Amino acid sequence: MAKVVVLPEYCKSCGLCVNICPKKILAIGDKANQKGYYTVIVTDPDKCIGCALCGTVCPDMALEVYR
């Protein structure tokens, strides 16, 4: 089963991963990281297909995708 892991300390809330996810399982959360950015959360991890588009588009390497 595929799994996406968010590394909140690297996330800058750019939203690129949220927009590109074909299953729409990523969203900007309501908790800020140490830098004050509201980080991405995985809303429905069971729907992840492991395409890794989110990790590819992230400029800060804040996402890891496991297949």
Q: Take residue 57 and report the two structure tokens written for it.
A: 């588009």
Class of domain 3-66: alpha beta
Name the amino acid, one letter, at 4: V
pLDDT in tens, the chain (67 residues): 899 999 999 999 999 999 999 999 999 999 999 999 999 999 999 999 999 999 999 999 999 999 9
Helix (H, G, I), strand (E, B) or coil at 23: coil
pTM above 0.85, yes or no: yes
Quick one: the chain helix, strand, coil %, rounded to 5?
20, 30, 50
Nearest alpha carbon to residue 39 among 66, 62, 65: 62
Classify residue 35 by its DSSP letter.
T
Q: How far apart are CA 40 and CA 57, in angstroms?
A: 14
Any idea where the domains of the chain sit in the sequence?
Answer: 3-66
